Chains A and B, each alone.
Chain A
Amino acid sequence: MIVKEKITHLQLGFLLFGFIAGFESMFLTESKLMKQDVWIANLFNTAAGLALFWIISFVQRQFPNLNLTEICDKLLGRWFSKVLLCVYLLNNLETISGGFRAVSMFYTTVILPNTSSDYLIFLYAACSTYAVYIGLGTLARTNLVILPFFLLGFLVTCLFIIPEIQTNPFLPQLKSSLPNRLVGSMHLFTFTFSQVITFGFLMSRVENMKKIFPSCAIAILMTNIYLIMISYLTLSSLGFNYVQTSTYPFFSTIQMVKFGEYLERIEVLLVGLWTVLTLVYVAVMQYVFTLVAGHVFGISKMKPFVVAMGLLCFVHTSKSYIRTADHFTYGIKIYPLSSLLPCIAFPVLLLVMTLIKRRREVKSL
């Protein structure tokens, strides 16, 4: 068995931040639904994300020498574990396809209307396949290089959006309906920290397992602070009505950034950084997809399968979510439900089985 490169707990934390912060920031669907009450969704998201991460890291710490797929086999039995991992693989493929399609849809809508989306998806998939082929360590290091630029760009943007603030985004509070709050919170959680299970499959690659939870907890908190900041900046600068009708509200917000009276419309630079961070997101998902698929199907020589899996992600995306409206509706109504089993029930089941196993071991002693 080959020894794979390990990453540090800090790199994992940064990867988690880049993973979430990059992708979700463009859409802000929860801001459209909840408006000034969006902090409720973020609070729920933080709590749920931390809880889910704690569950997965607890399970991993009980079996420090095994990776999560092997832990599943040990706790759930080989065949039931394969079934659940297959469900996870379907969810992973669904997410990857959604990510690819979201990026291509964004570009063909606002920046490159004359370019075929298949061509953009192909380029994206080729890049992420290359990233998966090279490995997790390099991906984590690349994320470390890119994040400071992203944060700098974001901070400068926020600074220059402040003069455009026209509405008080905080008042009146608690005016959104309960269904909107529920749906918005579920939506935000599904698109951000429900994918924490993906990081569970990477935990065995971290050098110091005890430090995983503290550094990733900080990453989760920082991500939510970032999401709250951009939500409220967007609401205050665009206004509630425009946010509701705009497809990409944060993009519309950064279009308003001006440097003096001379330099404007620099949103394309931030979009470039967002594209790269979304690429990190899909690369991580695809990497875990490849790892788990290799385990489920018992593949010993994984190298040739990396390209095949990349090709699968590309062709699956090119046939999925073709209509924009369908894609958005799917994201609100189907995706939160389809993620329940692999992203929430699965880790909880692992926790329960771990506790049962521990109790049995204590009793036998």
Chain B
Amino acid sequence: MFNIAIFVGSLCYGVVYFVLLRKRGKLSDAVIMLLLCGFIAGYNAPYIGKRWPTVEKLYNGLYTPLSRYIFSHLLSFNK
């Protein structure tokens, strides 16, 4: 329920400010707002929310091999 509310809320916020910013002549700001709110809504979207990218997933993917090498091989640190 809460997730749906955030999903709908962020989409509405994005659309409303897209329209308002376009009226003020700030087209680039309007587009960025729409994209940002769309991205935010993605986190709470049904089905795709779980696959939506997070910094944790990105850095786990990027740095896990390096971390394993440094901590397990170089430092022999296992905690």
Contact = CB atoms under 8 A, between A and B. Distances in A.
A132 to B, nearest CB: 15
Chain A contact residues: over half helix, strand or loop, or mixed? Answer: helix
Chain B contact-residue range equals: 35 or more
Chain B contact residues: over half helix, strand or loop, or mixed? Answer: helix
A319 B52 contact: yes
Interface in B11-51: 13-14, 17, 20-21, 24, 26, 28-29, 32-33, 36-37, 39-40, 43-44, 49-50
Nearest to A180: B77
A189 interface: no
Given A182-B75, A311-B6, A320-B54, A304 B33 contact: yes
Contacts of B56: 94, 97, 320-321, 330
Contacts, number: 101
B33 A308 contact: yes
Nearest to B58: A90
B66 to A, nearest CB: 6
A311 B8 CA distance: 12
A210 interface: no
Contacts of A337: 63, 66-67, 70
Contact of B49 (A33, A311, A319): A319
Residue among B2, B64, B70, B79 with max Cβ neighbours from chain A (10 Å): B79
5 contacts: A183-B79, A308-B13, A308-B17, A320-B56, A334-B59
Interface of B: 2, 6, 10, 13-14, 17, 20-21, 24, 26, 28-29, 32-33, 36-37, 39-40, 43-44, 49-50, 52, 54-56, 58-60, 62-64, 66-67, 70-71, 75-77, 79
